[in-house]
Amino acid sequence: MKLKVGLLGAGSWGTTVACLTAKNCDTTIWARDINTVKEINQNNTNEKYLPNAILHKGLKASHSIKDTVKNADVIVMGIPSQSFRKVLEEAKPHIRPWVPIISLAKGLEISTKMRMSEIVEEVMPGHPAGVLTGPNLAKEIHFGKAAAAVIAMADKSIAKKLQTVFNSGLFRVYTNSDIIGCELGGALKNIMAIASGMSDGANAGENTRSALITRGLSELTRLGTAMGGKQRTFAGLAGMGDLIVTCSSTKSRNHHVGFELGRGKKLDQIINEMNEVAEGVKTAKVVMELAKDYNVDMPISNEVYKVLYEDNTVFEAFRGLLTHEVGSEKEPG
């Protein structure tokens, strides 16, 4: 029997994942914008978020959250982290018991410092919670470029079953039981991507970018393991893999924010000119609080935060990093 997937959120990644699952399952995607719903159903396109792409012909769109989720065997949340709880609460009355809920978001909720799976557990107790994450640029995957991802859940048997929902041709999906590490890797790397973008925008050079990626991996691993993630997770697809692509690609939203900051643009202007959410901008606030809570030194994150929220310049950020005490490569800092 074919599973039914209800996917909430029709941004570029949500739409891409819906097209992947539509190859394996009956899939309905919810969009807030009625015009997007009509476009998907009538033209098999979503030009705002996936220009020049033809969507899977079996994908159906709906303007009703109820109709999207009421018969679904799997719920996929393609909703940005700061809106995640609200949309899930709207869907809650219509979701059948015990249905797995999978997050695509790579952020942390500002008000609670929660990961998305923790929000699922709080709002929807009894529902298996998971995350699909990894080095995944939506447009490349939609146009058939090879990629790999991780489906992370505490229950290995459910994760294995869901592999067949998302796995598709050149999109290879692995399982991982370390949901904490996978979620934190996806959230924390966005701040490093902003730092890398700042470096590229300021024309600091490829050596600088390499150093930022490497020290950034060390930094996010320190906080991630302090919060309960497994160290090996941060050396895998959800950690190093996602970090490399997000810090190096002009297709990355967070790198784009950093790049424009490096060129001298103001944050408000950059955000206003973007179609989609760069999760790292708001996640930076949460991460600085978590760094204090867990007593973890995070110099790169701290300098990014100062640029985003304390009006520091990119050059002041690099000066701050250069004056940070240098210790052993294996030690914090």
Nearest to 3 by CA among 57, 64, 53, 71: 71
Tokens of 243: 């970090």
118 is in an annotated binding site: no
**DSSP bridge pairs for 8:** 30, 77
Scanning 202-276, the segments in alpha helix (DSSP H) are: 206-226, 231-234, 242-248, 253-262, 267-272
197 is in an annotated binding site: no
242 is in an annotated binding site: yes
**Residue 189 is among the residues annotated as catalytic for this protein:** yes
106 is in an annotated binding site: yes
189 is in an annotated binding site: yes
Tokens of 185: 């890797």
Give the integer Cα–Cα distance in Å for 332 and 131. 28
200 is in an annotated binding site: no
241 is in an annotated binding site: no
9 is in an annotated binding site: yes
Give the integer Cα–Cα distance in Å for 113 and 288. 11
Give the integer Cα–Cα distance in Å for 194 and 307. 10
149 is in an annotated binding site: no
Residue with tokens 């030194």: 297
Give the integer Cα–Cα distance in Å for 312 and 157. 48
113 is in an annotated binding site: no
CA-to-CA separations, 230 to 181, 206, 325, in angstroms, rounded: 6, 30, 27
150 is in an annotated binding site: no
122 is in an annotated binding site: no
Point out the catalytic residue in the list 189, 266, 306, 330: 189
138 is in an annotated binding site: yes
**DSSP bridge pairs for 148:** 172
What's 50's DSSP letter? Answer: B
For the annotated binding site for sn-glycerol 3-phosphate, the residues are 106, 134, 189, 242, 252-254
For the annotated binding site for NADPH, the residues are 12-13, 32, 49, 106, 138, 253, 277, 279
For the annotated binding site, the residues are 9-14, 32, 49, 106, 134, 138, 189, 242, 252-254, 277, 279
For the annotated binding site for substrate, the residues are 106, 253-254
Active site residues: 189
